[in-house]
Structure 1
Amino acid sequence: MNNKLTGIAIAAAIAAALAFVYWPAPDGDAPQVAAGIAAAPQGRSLASYLNLDAAPMPAAAPVPVTLAQQLARLAASGKPEDAYAAYNLLDDCIVFQREGRLPGLEFELGREMTAEEKAAQQQLCAGLTQRQREDRLGYLAAAAQGGVPGAATIFLSEGPFGDRSALRNRPDDPLVQAWKRQAIAQLTAQADEAELTSVSTLMMAYLRDGEVVQKDAPQAYGYLLALRQVYDDILAPGVTNPYQDEYWHWLQAELTPEQQAAAAAKAQAIVAKYRQHTGRPAHG
């Protein structure tokens, strides 16, 4: 019965359309026809008749973008920022597969991940391959070399080629030595551009003998002075500056007047660059 009614409706609609197109009314009747068409209530279109028996089509569910697709898109741009995003994407998957959660994300959100968020992360990371794990540090190296804020510090924390133990177990290995030079050069370049994560990382590194650099009090003090002045700019009135003299006077006491002057000049250059980047006025 429905098929029969559908056939009749289709035939009637097609016939009406053909009659209107190929057999127009005489000239004298044209205004009335046009007026009738204009005044007629809007009915169903021909297309709607052709779908009389069709059930409404549900909206298509969005197709999840796979991990491989996201990585391909990020890699194709050639931008250091996208290389850093690719590194973080892979690092998140490695952490999630190990811990079943993303502590960094939960810290930012101020809450635990929901079941839905965990399910989505599980689905995304299910396709993680060994090749992608190996590519992770390559993305990080590209980001650090490209000057992405924070990447140089993460590069240092990963250790030589992702093996932190190499700093202790193979300190004289030429490859490890070259990695250390690269790590410090990247941090220094970023610190000179007033990237505060790098400034802080180098200050802490030069405070004592370590696996990457030896203690260098003048260097540490220069970065300390830069952070003190930048935080004086950033912090609201009345908020204690963690880099003020009362906490760090012992470091200043280790320096000669000449070393203190050189550290102050180094700090001023970094602070000037920071104020240039942020549009803050230079202090006289």
Structure 2
Amino acid sequence: MTATRTIVFGSAAGALVLAAALAWLRAPAAVRPDAPAAAAAPAQGGARWLDPAMLPAVAPAPARADFVTADAMPIYGRNGRPVDFGGKDAARYIDERAAAARTGDMRAAYQLYQAASACAAAAEPLPEFADPAQGETFRRERARVAALCAKVSPVQLQERMRFLARAADAGNRDAQIDFFMEGPGGKPADPTASADDPQVQQWKQQALTYLQQAGNQCDHFALGLLSNAYDAGQVVARDPARSMAYAIAAADARHRPLTEQQLRERFGDEVAPADFAAGVQAGAALAHQACPAG
């Protein structure tokens, strides 16, 4: 029987899960593992940026007063993508991007979100690690990011969601996915626990729309998240047949179509036999709509 999945929104654990998912789902097919074993890595603290072998020595601090210690290694936003602060502290970097974003620069708007999301993640509770050494590495990196973000205000952290929405409205697929992954208001939350909250309801509708827009641009990660959303039933009413259709579209977008046997093993216990063929057809239609070029 297919296990119902839970979506993790806006948390440090969720960041690790998404970082691993991005590394697997967005990598070229030739270098992605076929088995989903990589998904277990975050639970062991195994995200790439936590590998001690990837930690070079810290470079000396530049002389300029508005610069901080040069990055020893990339800093990642909550979405698992790297943020280049250019040697500046986070508050200054965010202020500069905010000024540009307010004049209509949507690239700056997304860069602002990225930076602020890294700072927001640094303020969250630490996840648990099975390996103490990896946990210590994570704590050192968390402290480094916290120092970089020391002058960032709560207002700057909260405004990241407004700028993220503007980037998503402008058609930035990464921003559309990030809005969904951030959760309601960009705070750790269980959408089912506050389902009647008008703000949560508005976020659900907006987040689902963004995912659909990204999926319609043949983004296989967005299509996969839609499959998960219809399976989990937290953001939208649970619909196994719809989940299967999006799973088909996501696999086709990755040029790794699912076989009928794979579909039956994953969804056969949840989708009625009479609905199975219709679900397969719906998945093919979604794939053609999202990726008309194949």
Q: Give the structure-1-normalised TM-score.
A: 0.57
Equivalent of residue 69 in structure 1, options 76, 82, 92? 92
**Residue in structure 2 matched with residue 82 of structure 1 by the alignment:** 108
Equivalent of residue 200 in structure 1, options 224, 239, 255? 224
Equivalent of residue 195 in structure 2, options 160, 171, 187? 171
Shift of 1:176: 2.3
* CA contact 1:86–1:139 (8 Å) conserved in 2: yes
* CA contact 2:161–2:186 (8 Å) conserved in 1: yes
Shift of 1:186: 1.0
Structure 2: stretches of 5+ with no match in the other structure:
1-61, 68-87, 130-136
* CA contact 1:228–1:244 (8 Å) conserved in 2: no
Shift of 1:86: 1.3
Distance 2:211 2:285 in 1: 19
Larger relative contact order (C-alpha < 8 A, sep ≥ 6)?
2
Shift of 1:212: 1.1
Against the structure 1 CA distance between its residues 212 and 97, is the aligned structure 2 distance closer, same or farther, given a 3 Å change threshold?
closer
Distance 1:126 1:69 in 2: 11
More helix by share: 1
Report SS of the residue matched to 2:148. helix
RMSD of aligned residue pairs (Cα, Å): 3.4
Q: Deviations over 1:40-86 (max 9, x none)?
A: xxxxxxxxxxxxxxxxxxxx834413323211222233333322221
Report SS of the residue matched to 1:204. helix
Against the structure 1 CA distance between its residues 217 and 135, is the aligned structure 2 distance closer, same or farther, given a 3 Å change threshold?
same
2:249 pairs with 1:247: no
2:184 pairs with 1:160: yes
Bigger CA radius of gyration: 1
**Residue in structure 1 matched with residue 236 of structure 2 by the alignment:** 213
**Residue in structure 2 matched with residue 184 of structure 1 by the alignment:** 208
2:246 pairs with 1:231: no
Distance 2:169 2:261 in 1: 36
Against the structure 1 CA distance between its residues 114 and 268, is the aligned structure 2 distance closer, same or farther, given a 3 Å change threshold?
same
Paired positions, count:
197
Q: How is 1:1-284 mapped onto 2 (pairs within 5 angstroms)?
A: 61-63=63-65, 64=67, 65-78=88-101, 79-98=105-124, 112=137, 121-165=145-189, 167-208=191-232, 210-232=233-255, 241=256, 243-250=258-265, 251=267, 254=272, 255-272=275-292, 275=293, 282=294
Against the structure 1 CA distance between its residues 62 and 243, is the aligned structure 2 distance closer, same or farther, given a 3 Å change threshold?
farther
Shift of 1:99: 6.7
Structure 1: stretches of 5+ with no match in the other structure:
1-59, 104-111, 233-240, 276-281
Q: Which amino acid letter does the alignment assign opposite residue 164 of structure 2? A: L
